[in-house]
Structure 1
Amino acid sequence: MSDEKSNKPGAGSKKLGAVGEKLSAVEHIKQASNYLLEPIPQELVDGTDHFGKESLQLLKHHGTYQQDNRDDRSKEGKTYSFMVRTAVPGGILSSEQLLAEIDLGDDVGNSTLRITTRQGLQLHGVLKKDLKQTIRRINESKLTTIAACGDVKRNVMCSPCPYKGDPVYDQMQDLAERLAIHLTPRTTAYYELWLTDESTGEKRLAGGSNGQEIEPIYGPTYLPRKFKFGIALPGDNSADIYSQDVGLMAICEHWRIVGYNVLVGGGFGVTPSAKKTFPAVAQAMCFVSPTQAIDVATAIVKVQRDFGNRADRKVARMKYLIHNWGLDRFRQKVEEYYGAKLQDPRPIEVHGFNDGMGWQAQGDGQWFYGLNVENGRIKDEGSFRLKSALREICSTMAPPLRLTPHQSIIFCDLTEKDRPKLFEILRRHGVPLSEEISNARRWSMACPALPTCGLAITESERVLPGIIDQLEAELAKLDLKDEVFTFRMTGCPNGCARPYNSDIGLVGKTAGKYTIFLGGRVCGDRLNFIYKDLVPEEDVIPDLVNVFRHFKEAREPDESFGDFCHRQGAEKLLAACDSVAN
């Protein structure tokens, strides 16, 4: 509705200095890039193993980050490789597509594959010389890496369960796909770089807009910062919509979606040294009909495009624009861009989270099975051979698949007779069934952190399984092993595993030390608080055990761990738990 209005001369670039400050270096790089192209082509074939700083910023929009293995750094310097991320809207993909990604991990990566916290897939260890064939092969499987990273719409998340007896799930997942397509960058740079036939110079896949590099939604400099969408239900917030720039909560009547409450301004990235930064949960702004959803979402993107902070990337996310303006002023600007008044949000709150694990009826006579994948890592390691198990399942049974926001996988369209075969394959490969996983492990999540992430301060994925081992034993002693709570860990404050709305958040603060956050909840609509700062790794479990012991003694009937911590607050909790410890 607002394309013509927002694409008059200067739209998307005229207001870049609206904050009254000098533009950041990244803004100049995007402006000079000719729609995310230059200088990548020259550096792609220059014979080195890495890219320069300008290309590094642009490559993110194409779905790849330059990394190095920090365990292997030496006096001679760094050995570079690339993380390549595939966007999978709503986590929906085929067995054939997963097999293609697993093959890539073996052929050009580090022999593993990772399910991301945004329902995508991630390869690590790809060398620069293999980058083009990697991205091309992903596209040949009918998937893409474009906009999996960068200052654009990231992978659109959605509640993934394949409930066919409840049509609202299909309706949400259809919106996720349409929204992802609508907000994908339209530059032809992606096709020219990665999908061009090297012998003829002809494009193998069609793309762009009649050969012209134009961006009617983003403009020549795209967005000030990354932008995240999620779609969920009040009873199933598995897409964690309060953590998103834009969350769409489906409002249903008589087994159909009548509209969406639009939540805006979520985001978890924090820079501890910059007090102006903070995590935020999204706020309900308006209610829209299903036919309005994409146009209103587009208007929100354009407001952030034109008024978000392009001088300081630390405060460039939309949450800061809303914080500075206030929600009312922000809504008025969205209405101006949309071209009409918007309804107030419906008085409906989130009240559930379905992770989709275990054997469940789809509602159409078939079944699905949700398999817990610890921290999303698909690998063969010792007697645990998940990668080989998935190869066999996808090759012989070929079920449709869903990736979940908790980094796990759902096998769809199964019959009763498939159940023993599926379980036999998993057990034969040493893969525990979801029913055999503790609640502490099932509801835990970690970012990759060391050794590949350049921002990581501490360990995360590599140490969380051991931390959960310890916690499982202590919870069993306290007779609390059946408690359900989210436990999320990150190696830095950027919050990629969404630690700031979880029951327990563990965030790397300095080498070997973490900040412990408590008081969020499974539903994800509440920020947690700092319980203790600069806690050595070896003290994390003893500190948490003291809190769980106090929880057992002082909880109210049916009170969850997160609600208990929230009710107590940091000061009372510290006083009580220090007393317990002594």
Structure 2
Amino acid sequence: MTDLTNKEQANGPLIVEGKHADNERLKAESNYLRGTIAQDLKDNVTGGFTADNFQLIRTHGMYQQDDRDIRNERAKQKLEPLHNVMLRARMPGGIITPTQWLAIDQFSREKTSYGSIRLTTRQTFQFHGVLKPNIKLMHQTLNEYGIDSIATAGDVNRNVLCTTNPVESELHQEAYEWAKKISEHLLPKTRAYAEIWLDGEKIEEGKDGKEVEPILGSNYLPRKFKTTVVIPPQNDVDVHANDLNFIAIAKDGKLIGFNVLVGGGLAMTHGDKSTYPRKADDFGFVELAKTLDVAAAVVTTQRDWGNRVNRKNAKTKYTLDRVGVDTFKAEVEKRAGITFAESRPYEFTGRGDRIGWTEGFDGKNHLALFIENGRLLDKPNLPLKTGMAEIAKIHKGDFRMTANQNLIVAGVASEDKAEIERLARAHGLMDDGVSVQRKNSMACVAFPTCPLAMAEAERYLPGLVTDVEAILAKHNVADESIILRVTGCPNGCGRAMLAEIGLVGKGPSKYNMHLGGNIAGTRVPKMYKENLNEEDILQEIDSLVARWVAERNNAEAFGDFVIRVGIVDEVKVSKRDFHD
């Protein structure tokens, strides 16, 4: 714990006093995240988890869900909701081998209700619709192939993202290794996951034989925590959506250290002006040798100072705004035993994936496949999932899941290119007709599985993009695009609060429209209009695109245009500007 007293700082108290949120009781009484999950697994009366375990399974990488499309029908039949779990794997940097891919493909076909693999904005995969009798088998199957789901949800550091960047192969390999080291360093040390799901595989204990959590603490973090490693100029992991970011700084093609950005986050609550999306602050440069020390210092400072009274204000971004950025930074320096140097120059020029073939510096080839909404499922005349399995059977490199829900077939030898492409095209994984607009659009899962969804997102996006494509064509800019993102609620999973047009679900077929993000992903958009239905949204986009085309300066991007002409004001300081 910090030795600073709980005195008033320039911006507010270091520690928020008051009755702790019930999640704090839950974690304290959980016996290091065990709860009574093992007992619940044996309860055949219900398909779900009870009481505290509903929350605790999140730290084991799972969310309890049900099929909301049939919830009312089951209620009429006096049946409980069709409970199942969604599992999110831990895959630092998003790299998965063909052997691992074939294993998850088989499990999804045989043991999930939906039969799909979902690539996520957290650069990993999710299983949806795993029923209670198959949950333990799922964890053991993943473990057999070197995969787990430890700490991919809950009040812990989650899956660490890393720029895929297959072109700069050597630099990417260095950055990826650091993403793995950071992930391992910040993992919970409790044996709960292994005991419950893997029948007691042992994990390192403290010297006295008792469990300790030297970084996360016995009550873990006040709220979820997200970390990235990014290689400029691609901001494909959206650093400003994350609590802690390491910007790779290279010299002569070799990684020499990181610029450290702290305090980004996109979640908010409708109607609560104390909540807002926020950009991360630049703390400065740190040499490689101090990377893990800095990561631990940021996490432990947030652990000790984060708001445990009000979960809506518990993320790192609110801690920085409450205590002051300089105060937080000074504490990190003290705990890490460093002084941040001035940040090294870098620039973000884009966020999208380079769809199609690219050649790396090492002569290997990489094929980035566009996967709309990240959903790999066999559909009539579009057997995407089978196609990926066929590629996995012959591919000698690895696969890289991207934070934009796409998939890269990486490390393809020249002699194997033609066959990989043949398989991809035969199964609909390569389509030259996919527009730039579709490639720059993204949505979260939302209905029917997410319990937080207020409106459609994944199922709404494809048709919406088709309509936007028509609007762009109408105004003679069909070869251009607007970064468009849709989320079913304000929790930020689809990263709409870094889009040029961000739609945030407010209710069935109702969305708030935000405008003004930029291409680099370094600006939060501002509310434009509330409670728009789908027809209203298209009318607004049509009108806005018409003005953009008629009044823009040269190749001015849409998000820059709407701010320059005053359609919305720029959000410079979120706490001050976002709700004004």
Query: 3-state SS of the aligned residue for 1:558?
Result: coil
Provide the C-alpha distance between the structure 1 equivalents of 2:165 and 2:433, rounded to a whole number of angstroms: 20
Give the CA deviation at 1:502. 1.1
Q: Tell me which of 148, 151, 158 is aligned to 1:154.
A: 158
Which residue of 2 is the match for residue 263 of structure 1? Answer: 261
> For 1:412-561, what aligned pairs fall within 5 Å after superposition?
412-433=410-431, 435-561=432-558
Structure 2 residue 121 is matched with structure 1 residue 117: yes
1:133-174: per-residue Cα shift (whole Å, max 9, x none)? Answer: 11111111101100111111111011012235x532222111
Query: 3-state SS of the aligned residue for 1:543?
Result: helix
Query: 3-state SS of the aligned residue for 1:102?
Result: helix
Structure 2 residue 89 is matched with structure 1 residue 92: no
Query: 3-state SS of the aligned residue for 1:489?
Result: strand
Which residue of 1 is the match for residue 180 of structure 2? Answer: 177
Which residue of 2 is the match for residue 167 of structure 1? Answer: 170
Give the CA deviation at 1:339. 2.7
Structure 2 residue 388 is matched with structure 1 residue 390: yes
Query: 3-state SS of the aligned residue for 1:530?
Result: strand
Q: Is the Cα–Cα contact under 8 Å of residues 234 and 352 in structure 1 kept in the other structure?
A: no
Which residue of 2 is the match for residue 57 of structure 1? Answer: 55
Q: Is the Cα–Cα contact under 8 Å of residues 160 and 402 in structure 1 kept in the other structure?
A: yes
Give the CA deviation at 1:475. 1.3
Provide the C-alpha distance between the structure 1 equivalents of 2:266 and 2:350, rounded to a whole number of angstroms: 21
Query: Which letter does structure 2 place at the counterpart of 1:501?
Result: L
Query: 3-state SS of the aligned residue for 1:59?
Result: helix
Provide the C-alpha distance between the structure 2 equivalents of 1:17 and 1:266, rounded to a whole number of angstroms: 19
Give the CA deviation at 1:293. 1.3
Structure 2 residue 336 is matched with structure 1 residue 338: yes
Provide the C-alpha distance between the structure 1 equivalents of 2:130 and 2:311, rounded to a whole number of angstroms: 28
Identity, in percent, stands at 38
Q: Tell me which of 565, 568, 572 is aligned to 2:562.
A: 565
Which residue of 2 is the match for residue 190 of structure 1? Answer: 193
Consecutive unaligned residues of structure 2, counting only runs of 5 or more, are 4-12, 571-580
Query: 3-state SS of the aligned residue for 2:128?
Result: strand
Provide the C-alpha distance between the structure 1 equivalents of 2:193 and 2:275, rounded to a whole number of angstroms: 33
Give the CA deviation at 1:46. 1.6
Q: Is the Cα–Cα contact under 8 Å of residues 455 and 510 in structure 2 kept in the other structure?
A: yes
Give the CA deviation at 1:206. 4.2
Provide the C-alpha distance between the structure 2 equivalents of 1:182 and 1:554, rounded to a whole number of angstroms: 51
> For 1:30-49, what aligned pairs fall within 5 Å after superposition?
30-47=27-44, 48-49=46-47
Give the CA deviation at 1:373. 0.3
Consecutive unaligned residues of structure 1, counting only runs of 5 or more, are 8-15, 197-202, 574-582
Structure 2 residue 131 is matched with structure 1 residue 134: no
1:405-435: per-residue Cα shift (whole Å, max 9, x none)? Answer: 10000001113332332222223223343x4
Which residue of 2 is the match for residue 10 of structure 1? Answer: none
Query: 3-state SS of the aligned residue for 1:250?
Result: strand
Give the CA deviation at 1:52. 1.3
Provide the C-alpha distance between the structure 1 equivalents of 2:150 and 2:278, rounded to a whole number of angstroms: 27
Give the CA deviation at 1:304. 0.4
Give the CA deviation at 1:17. 11
Q: Tell me which of 87, 102, 110 is aligned to 1:107.
A: 110
Query: Which letter does structure 1 place at the counterpart of 2:542?
Result: V
Query: Which letter does structure 2 place at the counterpart of 1:171?
Result: E
TM-score (norm 2): 0.92
Give the CA deviation at 1:65. 0.4
Q: Is the Cα–Cα contact under 8 Å of residues 188 and 212 in structure 1 kept in the other structure?
A: no
Give the CA deviation at 1:438. 0.5
Give the CA deviation at 1:437. 1.4
Query: 3-state SS of the aligned residue for 1:291?
Result: helix
Provide the C-alpha distance between the structure 2 equivalents of 1:69 and 1:366, rounded to a whole number of angstroms: 43
Q: Tell me which of 204, 207, 223 is aligned to 2:203.
A: 207
Query: 3-state SS of the aligned residue for 1:417?
Result: helix
Give the CA deviation at 1:40. 1.2
Which residue of 1 is the match for residue 576 of structure 2? Answer: none
Which residue of 2 is the match for residue 230 of structure 1? Answer: 228
Provide the C-alpha distance between the structure 1 equivalents of 2:15 and 2:262, rounded to a whole number of angstroms: 21
Aligned length: 552
Cα RMSD, aligned residues only = 1.9
Provide the C-alpha distance between the structure 2 equivalents of 1:488 and 1:464, rounded to a whole number of angstroms: 8
Give the CA deviation at 1:541. 1.8
Give the CA deviation at 1:560. 1.2
Provide the C-alpha distance between the structure 2 equivalents of 1:297 and 1:515, rounded to a whole number of angstroms: 35
C-alpha spacing 1:558/1:24, structure 2 compared with 1 (3 Å):
same
1:470-521: per-residue Cα shift (whole Å, max 9, x none)? Answer: 1112212222122243211100011101111111111101221111111102
